Amino acid sequence: MTICTPHSALLVGRVIRAGRAEGEALVSPQPIGFLGGVDPETGVIIEPGHPLEGQCIAGRVLVFPGGKGSTVGSYTLLRLAHSGHAPAAMLNARSEPIVAVGAILADIPMLDEIDISQIHTGDWVIVDGERVEIRATSKSKIQNPNLTIRNPQPAIHNPHSAIHNPQSAIHNPHSAIRIPQSAIRNPQSAELVFLKLGGSLITDKTREATARPEVIRRLAGEVAEALAARPGLRLVLGHGSGSFGHMAGERYGTRCGVSDAAGWRGFAETALAAQRLNRLVADAFWQAGVPVWSLQPSASACCRDGELVALDWRPVAEALLRGLVPLLYGDVALDEVRGGTIVSTEEIFAWLARRLKPDRLVLAGAVPGVMRSDNGQPQVIAEITPRRLAALSPLMDGAQGTDVTGGMLAKVRTMCALVEELPYLQVRLISGLEVGLLTRVLGDAGLEVGTLIRADAF
């Protein structure tokens, strides 16, 4: 399809990281290696002999065939975002994992399958979802004066990804706004989802150290099915400790702190209990064909008076880069004030979300969502926002069985605080007991089921 206009062109590509940005184009005919090739503190290309050597990529739409070099280049893009020198957007002829993961980590809009020959340094480029509009400026003229729409493999942006100001990048998450759910979606497009399997779902929380192996195996199969159906889907998987860690933690009061020898033995016992359940989950998912890599949170987690203040997230990012599914779980943690404590999977997810910027969180439990019982009949609360939380809190049902991390209300509060920080993010709580539902939810970000937690509209 051709629309004539003398000064612009419109291209359509495949979305790697959805968003909206605009800026002056900086075009390279050669691949770019970010580790050692770009100064992460200035955004200047420093690779000797590169066509763009000495050019600054900060705030510009960087157009290049693809990436090259070390996988650590993904972290260079993240450092560029932290220093305020990331490109506004990136366009590739064909992407590869280094740049793709870097764009996702740094929240930089990125497309590939773009005819980059139609873009020239100095053009003003607007990236919006899968669309790229090129406007000629006094610095550059588009060689083909026709407006050509190219879409050899249509890919539409994820409706839950962030639209952000290219200058704010990672520094100001409140600049993000959600794309409406009515936007057209492509199930093949890239999406990062955090998925938690609740302890009440995968264990019997009324009987100590009692797993539900048949439920775990079924959920593993549903996740494997979703990954097979959506090659662009990437998961960070977590699970609660259920009747393994929670009962041990309650016996010793580990969540409230550790102060004597008996308490430290209880701390270690709680950790071992959580690890035993994690091994059962890891084995089931591996046997189902899901390439999980179990990561022990307590190896790096540190809290301050019960609040998680440090956790090494780099192995999680590396797992995603390598095509693995990082697997985490509620665990013990050292605490600067309490000595030791327990951190929930939701708290770990919240920490990681601020750094990895997932598109959405899915919390699968043993109930259909967040339940209320103010009129004697339990019913699902369809939607919760931070402003509505205070009014809804007294109506919410509590935890099923032993839960030392505060039960459902604590989970909802953690998620409400998170969506206030990351307004583009949506959290959905669903039942993991409904056969096939998890596969459907992972396959369709707009599926209206369970409870949705989102930021308040402004």
Which region holds residue 306: left if phi is over 0, alpha if psi is between -120 and 50, else beta? left
In Å, how far are 11, 114, 129, 141 from 3, measured between CA atoms? Answer: 12, 18, 20, 17
Q: Residue 199, Cα to own-chain centre: how many angstroms? A: 21
Q: What 8-state DSSP symbol labels residue 451?
A: E
Residue pointed to by tokens 């404590």: 341
- For strands 131-135 and 146-148, give the pairing: unpaired
Yes or no: say if 160 and 35 are a contact pair by the CB < 8 Å rule: no
SS3 content of the chain, % helix, strand, coil (to 5): 30, 25, 45
Residue 205 main-chain phi, psi, to 5 deg: -75, 0
Question: Could you tell me which of 389, 215, 342 has the C-alpha nearest to residue 285?
Answer: 215
DSSP sequence for 255-289: GG---SHHHHHHHHHHHHHHHHHHHHHHHHHHHTT
Question: Could you tell me which of 65, 84, 66, 179 has the C-alpha nearest to residue 131?
Answer: 179
**Active-site annotation holder among 70, 168, 175, 300:** 70
Largest Cα span, the chain = 79
- Taking residue 127's Cβ as centre, other Cβ atoms within 10 Å add up to 28
70 is catalytic: yes
Q: Degrees (nearest 5) of the Cα angle 173, 178, 184?
A: 145
Catalytic residues: 70
